[in-house]
């Protein structure tokens, strides 16, 4: 397949289309995933190919959606359940955290839950405090759940395709501000394997460890830092469970400095865990303490200006790096 311009949304749709063509056990269920085509258009027109038996419109009940997906997965199907927003995860946390994540362990490996939970998170649409959160820390805290958060078009396709082959439940969080992002991509080209972080930009002065939309914010900051003579390395984790500490460690041991960047709130979040791991495993190589740059510990504002101010921006990253390097 030759390179073509494709959006993040289209790559996700293509991943579902290709996987469903290859595997008859894959079904999609959620609110308006069938005739309407999904809240963000990812499943648009799939019902015309696969029919209403495989694109199942459900009642407005997150516990029912995830509960049905868990049961379907236990009985031989490979369901893709869509929650319209990650903010609604709490409504289905018993089904997800107490059932899906633990069944293979509780049954001694005799039965599993090979399902994918697709959902949307993050800011950028002024959707208000109940529709703009970054709750990946909830998922990362639960053993038994895999967690993928693609930042690029190619990863949107390949990570979703791989998620649909795993024996464990995967929470697949798509950043709502990335859906319209278009990149020139060859979806047939090989990508890094599942669980491996990608070095999106090489550098020797500081390692910026991040994921999802913040990868692009970090790359913007790295460009500005380059103009100031500072070479920042940007690492895209791609998946948070599994978490590729090997790639992070190699980068930090070379640069001697690390910044962990996350859109989620600062306190007790993903950035805190990653910073602790880096501090523990790279202590002898660090020239400065690991710094976290994360979202404010506030409900996300609906005002576009306040919303933007509540999450990390490139200018803040540049300011922090320059202060760290004393330049």
Instruction: Reply yes or no on whether 131 is catalytic.
Output: yes
Closest C-alpha among 42, 45, 93, 43 to residue 65: 93
Q: Are strands 239-241 and 146-148 parallel, antiparallel or unpaired?
A: antiparallel
Q: What's the CA gap between 320 and 326, in Å, rounded?
A: 10
Q: What's the CA gap between 42 and 12, in Å, rounded?
A: 6
3-state secondary structure of 147: strand
Question: Which residues make beta-bridge pairs with 209?
Answer: 235, 260
Question: Which residues make beta-bridge pairs with 276?
Answer: none
Marked catalytic residue, from 10, 62, 82, 233 = 62
Marked catalytic residue, from 31, 131, 136, 216 = 131
- Contact criterion met (CB below 8 Å) for 151 and 215: yes
Residues with Cβ within 8 Å of residue 29, at least 6 apart in sequence: 56, 57, 58, 65, 68, 69, 72, 79, 80, 81, 82
What DSSP element (H or E) covers 136?
helix 136-140
Q: What DSSP assignment string belongs to 64-121?
A: HHHHHHHHHHHTT-EEEEEES-GGGGGGGHIIIIIIITTHHHHTTTSS----EEEEEE
Tell me the catalytic residues.
62, 131
């Amino acid at each position: 397949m030759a390179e073509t311009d494709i959006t993040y949304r289209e790559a996700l749709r293509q991943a579902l289309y290709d996987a469903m063509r290859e595997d008859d056990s894959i079904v999609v269920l959620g609110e308006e995933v069938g005739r309407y085509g999904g809240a963000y258009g990812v499943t648009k027109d799939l019902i015309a190919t696969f029919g209403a038996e495989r694109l199942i419109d459900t009642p407005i009940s997150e516990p029912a959606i995830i509960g049905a997906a868990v049961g379907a997965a236990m009985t031989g199907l490979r369901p893709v359940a869509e929650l319209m927003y990650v903010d609604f995860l709490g409504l289905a946390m018993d089904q997800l955290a107490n059932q899906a994540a633990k069944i293979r362990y509780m049954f001694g490996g005799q039965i599993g839950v090979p399902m994918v939970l697709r959902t949307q998170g993050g800011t950028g649409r002024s959707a208000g405090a109940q529709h703009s959160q970054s709750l990946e820390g909830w998922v990362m805290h639960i053993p038994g759940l895999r967690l993928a958060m693609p930042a690029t078009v190619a990863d949107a396709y390949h990570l979703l395709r791989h998620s649909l082959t795993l024996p464990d439940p995967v929470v697949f969080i798509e950043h709502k501000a990335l859906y319209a992002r278009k990149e020139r991509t060859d979806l047939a080209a090989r990508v890094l394997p599942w669980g491996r972080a990608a070095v999106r930009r090489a550098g020797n002065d500081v390692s910026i460890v991040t994921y999802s939309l913040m990868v692009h914010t970090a790359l913007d900051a790295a460009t500005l830092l380059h103009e100031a003579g500072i070479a920042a390395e940007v690492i895209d984790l791609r998946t948070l469970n599994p978490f590729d500490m090997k790639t992070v460690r190699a980068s930090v041991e070379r640069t001697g400095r690390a910044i962990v960047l996350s859109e989620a709130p600062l306190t007790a979040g993903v950035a805190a865990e990653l910073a602790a791991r880096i501090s523990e495993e790279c202590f002898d190589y660090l020239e400065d303490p690991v710094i976290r740059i994360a979202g404010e510990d506030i409900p996300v504002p609906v005002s576009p200006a306040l919303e933007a101010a509540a999450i990390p921006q490139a200018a803040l990253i540049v300011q922090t790096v320059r202060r760290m390097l004393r330049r």
